[in-house]
Amino acid sequence: MYFLKIILICLKIIIYYVDQLNQNKMNFENFFLGNVNYLHEDLYDVRYNQCVLDFFGKSLDYKRKYSYGYGGYLEKGYEHSGDPNMPDMQESYTLTTGRNESVPPELDFLYQSLFMRLCQLGEKIIDAILENDKLRLSGLSSADFEFTMLVNYFYPYSSTEIESDRAFRMGEHIDESLFTAMPHGAVYDFEVFQDGQWITPHHLERNPIIFPGKLTQFLSGGHIPALKHRVRLSERQSARISYPFMALPKIHTKLAPLGKVDEMVTGREFMEEYLSEHINKNMQY
């Protein structure tokens, strides 16, 4: 009788952990088609936006004290999306695990809560993504990546001079990352090129969305396309805040598409190519 109880207890423990694994297993069916996937997480906190407003409301001299090249504060006028004649309508601050610089006190709560929570989630996402047949050949693991979250502040365009033919706050582009996660979901002006057309993957819930970037496309030999996306210039003339979270290669990580050694590049080489194409401000990764 005693041994039977022990066996039953062991079975209950096994069933519990199997159930936990099933709950944590992520379904990335749409991701591997180069489309948007949804994560069942609740990461929203109304206090985050106030942190951002507190920082970007400071003087330019104050914000410049937190400029660290790749990481830290980035002023208006930089171009991220590929059209150097039309800079993005934003300022940004980059939180990253790849640097040790101090975070502005206004953003500390955002760093300690949202960013650190996303880093934990990001490791699970990487492990799940790398199980794919086209990515497993790369031989990579979550230890080969660092995490970055852009804190983007799109300023109110009613108070700026806007080109008469301008239609977007941020033009069409793909991200350089293995994946990008939008922790609070997609809002009304965020558009993605999915299934051959531009759509807004917006719904009332704030579930995070995730989609593949250029690094996934590179490592999969093009089998998993990076998702093109953009931000419309809408009739809503208020400030806009976003928190795209990305997994990027560490500088010495060896990146071989489909495991092909002759096509291998380092993480630094991969990222420097992106920075020279887009930001182009002598920025070092």
DSSP codes joined into one string, 180-198: EEETT---TTEEEEETTEE
pLDDT, tens digit, for every residue of 88-102?
A: 888 999 999 988 889
Out of 2.60.40.420, 2.40.30.10, 2.60.120.330, 2.30.110.10, select the CATH number for domain 26-277: 2.60.120.330
What average pLDDT does the chain have? 85
**pLDDT at res. 171:** 86
Residue 16 pLDDT greater than 50, yes or no:
no
CA 99 to chain centroid? 17
71 band by pLDDT with thresholds 50, 70 and 90: confident
Per-residue pLDDT, averaged over 83-92, amounts to 80
Residue 29 pLDDT greater than 70, yes or no:
yes
Q: What percent of the chain has pLDDT over 70?
A: 83
**pLDDT at res. 99:** 83
Kindly state the tokens that stand for 264. Answer: 């291998």
Better-predicted residue by pLDDT, 190 or 89? 190
CA pair distance 96, 111, nearest whole angstrom: 9
Per-residue pLDDT, averaged over 14-29, amounts to 54
Burial 154-177 (b: 16+ CB within 10 A, else e): bbebeeeeeeeeeebbbbebbbbb
Kindly state the tokens that stand for 237. Answer: 């003339």
Q: Which residues make Cβ contacts (< 8 Å) with residue 241, sequence separation at least 6?
A: 48, 49, 52, 53, 151, 152, 153, 154
Across the strands, what pairs with 148?
Answer: 96, 246
**pLDDT at res. 32:** 95
Residue 17 pLDDT greater than 50, yes or no:
no
Per-residue pLDDT, averaged over 95-119, amounts to 94
69 band by pLDDT with thresholds 50, 70 and 90: confident
20 band by pLDDT with thresholds 50, 70 and 90: very low
Reading across the β-sheet that carries 168-173, which strands appear in turn? 168-173, 229-232, 190-194, 197-199
CA 98 to chain centroid? 15
Residue 155 pLDDT greater than 60, yes or no:
yes
- Give the single-character DSSP code of 166: -
**pLDDT at res. 11:** 46
Q: Which residues make Cβ contacts (< 8 Å) with residue 278, sequence separation at least 6?
A: 79, 80, 81, 82, 173
284 band by pLDDT with thresholds 50, 70 and 90: low
**pLDDT at res. 14:** 41
Better-predicted residue by pLDDT, 22 or 83? 83
* Burial of 246 from C-beta contacts in 10 A (0-12 / 13-18 / 19+): buried
The structural domains of the chain, with segments of one domain joined by +, span 26-277
pLDDT, tens digit, for every residue of 200-259?
A: 987 777 889 999 999 999 999 999 999 999 998 876 677 889 999 999 999 999 999 999
* H or E, element range at 276: helix 267-277
